[in-house]
Amino acid sequence: MVPSARVKICGLTRPSDMRAAVEAGAGYVGLVFFEKSPRHLALDTAREVALAAADGVAKVALTVNATDAQLDAICVAVPLDILQLHGSESPARVAAVQARYGLPVMKAVGVAGAEDLATLETYATVADMLLVDAKPPKNGALPGGNGLTFDWRLIAGRQWSRPWMLAGGLTAVNVAMAMEMTGARQVDVSSGVERAPGVKDPDKMQAFVDAAKGNVPCPKT
């Protein structure tokens, strides 16, 4: 058995999926604002989905190189707790977003090799939280949600000065192993709990949360 982790279920597109994610035990829920993603939400839909979340569950807006105007519109329309920057935003941009909106900022950093670890150290000096994700394929359309893992040994035993969350290709089958190898105590899942892009599966969400919280033995691979 592994220690319990707090779970973020990202890419929720329907109120029913939001309610199922909360019922499964997610501590964070993510809404995507990126038009190239199959999980992208219009503002009115995003508000409806967000309002289906229970009190105490952190609502996260995933954006990719969003402008102030885009972030303004999102923050006005949708009740949020955290802004997730999942593009090529600079450390200065992270700081500017924090100052403008007064919300915690989670910065996603893609990892493919040891050379990417220095980038994590840089963002740990400004972001409120790090999302350690698999680097997307070269010329890929999506910065995340690709169902890809990375070599977890690269971050085994590492700690940063900010809280961090592990993402990238996690499923109910591999999340316990990923936690054991990396020491992660927060994990993020999107495509790994879907029956189709943007459509979550309640049973998969429950199985993932159970595995991340150590409610079931580590599944055999």
Please tell me the distance from the alpha carbon of residue 177 to that of residue 217, in angstroms, as a whole number: 11
Average pLDDT, the chain: 92
Mutual angle of helices 175-182 and 202-212, in 10-degree steps:
30
User: What are 77's two structure tokens?
Assistant: 């329309």
Residue 2 has pLDDT above 80, yes or no: no
Please tell me the distance from the alpha carbon of residue 148 to that of residue 85, in angstroms, as a whole number: 19
Q: What is the DSSP string of 39-53?
A: TB--HHHHHHHHHTS
Residue 216 has pLDDT above 70, yes or no: no
Residue 36's identity, in one-letter code, is K
- For 200-204, what is the mean pLDDT? 98
Please report which confidence band the pLDDT of residue 217 belongs to, taking 50, 70 and 90 as the band edges.
low
| Cβ–Cβ < 8 Å for 49, 14 | yes
Question: For 167-182, what is each residue's pLDDT tens digit?
Answer: 999 999 999 999 999 9
pLDDT of 219 reads 47
Strands 199-200 and 194-196: antiparallel
Neighbours of 173 (CB within 10 A): 15
Question: For 129-172, what is each residue's pLDDT tens digit?
Answer: 999 999 876 655 555 454 678 999 999 988 899 999 999 999 99
Among residues 75, 126, 118, 76, the alpha carbon closest in space to that of 96 is found at 126
| Cβ–Cβ < 8 Å for 199, 177 | no
Residue 1 has pLDDT above 60, yes or no: no
Question: For 60-108, what is each residue's pLDDT tens digit?
Answer: 999 999 999 999 999 999 999 999 999 999 999 999 999 999 999 999 9
Domain ranges in the chain are 6-212
Mutual angle of helices 202-212 and 15-24, in 10-degree steps:
30
Question: For 23-57, what is each residue's pLDDT tens digit?
Answer: 999 999 999 999 999 999 999 999 999 999 999 99
Question: For 3-14, what is each residue's pLDDT tens digit?
Answer: 689 999 999 999
Fold of 6-212: TIM Barrel (3.20.20)
pLDDT of 221 reads 45
User: What are 168's two structure tokens?
Assistant: 């990238």
Q: Is the backbone of residue 175 left (phi > 0), alpha (psi -120 to 50) or beta? A: alpha
Q: Could you list the active site residues?
A: 10, 133
